[in-house]
Structure 1
Amino acid sequence: MFGFQKLQIYQLAKEIVKYNYKLTNKFPSLEKYALVQQMNRAAISVPSNIAEGTSRNSNKDKAHFINIAYGSLMELVCQMEISLEMEYIDQNEYEEFIAMVKNLSVKMSNYLKTIV
């Protein structure tokens, strides 16, 4: 097992990816190559950048990739909000997603504080 795989922020980010895929699988087919692809890319970017960043040698590089992961997470929040407004997901699904994001974002912030 690699070091990044043991990190809670990595594990939580993967849970968000799985939840995102669960929700987007129910989207209308007209969104398959539009919103769904964009959401999947943003979701995958979060744990991917955590993995890449935490594997870097310098704290500056680590922080840079964690910030990119955070940006992708916020992009996904925007897309999930649009999904709610388009009625592709319901309020409960949105709130569960937001709770997951808040938890991860706090832990990512705490991680950043330990390396900066």
Structure 2
Amino acid sequence: MEAHNFRNLKVWQLPVDFVEVVYRLSPQFPDDEKYGLLSQLKRCAVSIPSNIAEGSGRTSDKGFHRFLSTSLSSCFELETQLILSNRSGFLSGNVLNELIVKLTEIQKMLYALQRKLNRNDQPPHTRLFQFLFSFF
């Protein structure tokens, strides 16, 4: 396995930027949500790039893939929490839509990296077969 330097991965950089956005939204939430939904939002957002970074240190692509799956799960959890925040009146519909567009981009990138890692786990003759037939 080739070492994965997480700091060079756009799929890590975008979630780090997203964490900053979530933290900037904090003042929009009431004080009584400080340890409720807001806390969950922050922890979930931080979990996405953290798992990518941790997985990049694994000694196999399969190990890295497992942590990417956890990051992807956190994306879906975060999306749910953002929807709940909107429905509770803490986020406007426009802000929610902007955040979901960014989050969807992260989800797509995680899926793409997982597919790439899956292809790397296949025997060389299988990769050659797929390459040759990708032209048809």
Task: Pick the TM interval, shorter chain.
Answer: over 0.9
- Matches of residues 1-116 of structure 1 in structure 2 within 5 Å? 3-116=5-118
SS state of the match for residue 23, structure 2?
A: helix
Q: Secondary structure at the match of 2:44?
A: helix
Amino acid at match of 1:17: V
Q: Bigger shift: 44-53 or 14-23?
A: 14-23
Q: Deviations over 1:55-97 (max 9, x none)?
A: 2111111110000011111111010000000110101110110
Quick one: higher RCO (CA 8 Å, sep 6+), 1 or 2? 1
Q: What is the CA-CA distance between 1:25 and the residue it aligns to? A: 2.7
CA separation in 2, counterparts of 1:111 and 1:89? 31
For 2:40 and 2:113, how far apart are their aligned partners in 1?
A: 27
Which TM-score applies when normalising by structure 2?
Answer: 0.81
Shift of 1:28: 0.4
RMSD in angstroms over aligned alpha carbons? 1.1
CA offsets 1:35-54 (integer angstroms, 9 cap, x no match): 11111110100000000112
Cα distance in 1 for partners of 2:38, 2:48 equals: 16
Residue 11 of structure 1: SS of its match in structure 2?
Answer: helix
Ranges in structure 1 where 5+ consecutive residues have no aligned partner: none
TM-score by length of 1: 0.95
Identity in percent: 31
Residue correspondences, number:
115
AA paired with 1:83? S
